């Protein structure tokens, strides 16, 4: 049982999927671990620490992957990067399948078993494997740290001989894992914190952290499945926007955390709301990777609009890579622990396990996850649709038929699509080049023959002008 750990190739990704701590525990479970040299460098885990834990540190990704049964990764690898991996091997990581169905289909065709850790079910048994919670927790913390660094003013209230410094006001939109940690961190730094969420149950959690919960009376509850919020109706969106617009103008910091799995991030903060904030205010958009909750967010950039800074980092957890990698690697280790027979010290995968049913995307050369299988089928069979637009009826009468007959058929096609499709066959006639510019969609192409036969046809021309 060989486990491979590679250096992440995605731009800006500083985390690693296994730490020296988890490598040692994998070896204790019976695994041989191969780590690509430099895999943990950006997370402050040098090669010698992996070697001391018992891993084989190898110079290239290809050597680490050779005959590997399991690949642990942070981001979805490309198919080209999987050369040498064993057929049917497990590729375990954050695979981000929504919107990347073609890439998932490519992994299926490569013969690997792709496991998306972000699909881990929210059940008690799987809490220790929940990468979304572990990374969102750190993202919420880091969001406040980033905001404080840009704010350029003190956050807590200070009473000094020179006078009193008022505390900063922080507003957190969304009270999930990231939002709650942002609330707690802002409170620790001395800010006056308020928060909103479309789920009524979040109110108690917000208030338990010492923040003020704000919710419109028009929105009773928008709780969805799996602990997430459902999509709001237009009336609910309008009521929520009205509440936010009035509150956001008084805030020094705003942190947005709203995400719906598999969909673009909902827009919560408009340009007008940003412009209502005082110069020097800061917005941190945790949803930048999915388009952002703020209308003006630019992914992976910090911009300033009318004095308001908008931070759009798409990988906030990756900005504290050592801690993020430690938690992420433990999540993966806990999952792998359920796949290994402790006595035989080999893989013993129960494909009927609810954890695997929820997370396996590809297996045996096919996309098997029910949320992705239909989209993958469309991606894998695009060719039959190509011949459909070819206008074969227009090409059939063309061989040696008199030009007057072919011209007389042009007005008989009132359909705009057919009329637009007719000109290409005419362009292939070598001796009718002068007639090429004439046949527009609404015009009649004949020169002399058509006026004789259509002497009476000028009467319908008058209604056309009236239109």
Structural contact between residues 176 and 184, judged by C-beta atoms closer than 8 angstroms: no
- Per-residue HEC secondary structure of the chain comes to CEEEECCCCCCCCCCCCCCHHHHHHHHHCCCEEEEECCCCHHHCCCHHHHHHHCCEEECCHHHHHCCCCEEEEEECCCHHHHCCCCCCCEEEEECCCCCCHHHHHHHHHCCCEEEEHHHCCCCHHHHHHCHHHHHHHHHHHHHHHHHHHHHCCCCCCEEECCEEECCCEEEEECCCHHHHHHHHHHHHCCCEEEEECCCCCHHHHHHHCCCEEECCCCCCCCECHHHCECCCCHHHHHHHHHHHHHHHCCCCEEEECCCCCCCCCCCCECHHHHHHCCCCCEEEECCHHHCCCECCCCCCCEEEECCEEEECCCCCHHHCHHHHHHHHHHHHHHHHHCCEECCCCEECCCCCCHHHHHHECEECCEECCCCCHHHHHHHHCCHHHCCCCCCHHHHCCCCCCCHHHHHHCCCCCCCHHHHHHCHHHHHCCCCCHHHCCCCCCCCCCCCCHHHHHCHHHHCCHHHHHHC
What does residue 113 show for φ and ψ, rounded to 5 degrees?
-100, 105
Decide if 68 contacts 86 (C-beta within 8 A): yes
Catalytic annotation, residues: 122, 127, 130, 133, 228
CA neighbor of 25 nearest in space, from 443, 422, 326? 326
Say how far apart CA 231 and CA 272 lie, in whole Å. 23
Burial of 149 (0-12, 13-18, 19+ CB in 10 A): exposed
Question: Is the alpha carbon torsion for 324, 327, 329, 331 positive or negative?
Answer: negative
| Cα R_g (the chain), whole angstroms | 31
């Amino acid at each position: 049982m060989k486990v491979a750990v590679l250096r992440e190739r995605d731009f800006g990704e500083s985390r690693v999927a296994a730490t020296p701590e988890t490598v040692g525990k994998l070896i204790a479970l019976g695994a041989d671990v191969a780590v690509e040299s430099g895999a943990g460098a950006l997370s402050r885990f040098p090669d010698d620490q992996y070697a001391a834990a018992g891993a084989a540190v190898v110079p290239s990704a290809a050597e680490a992957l050779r005959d590997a049964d399991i690949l642990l990764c942070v981001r979805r690898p490309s198919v080209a990067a999987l050369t040498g991996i064993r057929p049917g091997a497990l590729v375990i990581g954050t695979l981000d399948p929504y919107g990347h169905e073609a890439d998932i289909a490519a992994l299926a065709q490569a013969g690997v078993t792709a496991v998306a850790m972000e699909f881990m079910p929210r059940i008690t048994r799987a809490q220790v494997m929940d990468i979304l919670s572990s990374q969102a927790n750190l993202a919420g913390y880091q969001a406040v740290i980033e905001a404080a660094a840009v704010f350029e003013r003190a956050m807590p209230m200070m009473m000094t001989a020179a006078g009193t410094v008022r505390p900063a006001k922080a507003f957190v939109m969304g009270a999930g894992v990231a939002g709650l940690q942002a609330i707690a961190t802002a409170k620790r730094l001395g800010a006056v914190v308020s928060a909103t969420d479309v789920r009524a149950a979040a109110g108690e959690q917000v208030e338990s952290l010492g923040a003020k919960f704000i919710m419109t009376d028009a929105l009773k509850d928008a709780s969805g499945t799996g602990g997430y919020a459902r999509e709001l109706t237009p009336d609910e969106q309008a009521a929520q926007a009205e509440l936010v617009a009035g509150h956001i103008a008084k805030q020094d910091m705003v942190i947005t955390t709203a995400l719906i799995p598999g969909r673009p991030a909902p827009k919560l903060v408009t340009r007008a709301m940003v412009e209502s904030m005082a110069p020097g205010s800061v917005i941190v958009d945790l949803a930048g990777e999915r388009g952002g909750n703020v209308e003006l967010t630019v992914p992976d950039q910090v911009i300033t609009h009318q004095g308001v800074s908008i931070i759009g980092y798409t990988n906030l957890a990756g900005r504290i890579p050592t801690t993020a990698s430690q938690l992420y690697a433990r999540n993966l280790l806990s999952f792998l622990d359920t796949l290994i027979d402790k006595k035989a010290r080999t893989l013993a995968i129960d494909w009927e396990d609810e954890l695997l049913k929820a997370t396996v995307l590809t297996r045996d050369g096919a996309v098997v996850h029910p949320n992705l299988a239909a989209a993958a089928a469309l991606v894998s069979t695009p060719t039959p649709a190509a011949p459909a637009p070819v206008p074969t009826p227009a090409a059939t009468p063309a061989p040696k038929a008199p030009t007057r007959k072919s011209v007389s058929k042009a007005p008989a096609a009132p359909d705009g699509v057919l009329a637009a499709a007719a000109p290409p066959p005419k362009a292939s006639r070598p001796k009718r080049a002068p007639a090429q510019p004439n046949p527009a969609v609404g015009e009649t192409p004949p020169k002399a023959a058509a006026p004789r036969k259509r002497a009476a046809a000028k009467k319908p021309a008058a209604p056309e002008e009236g239109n």
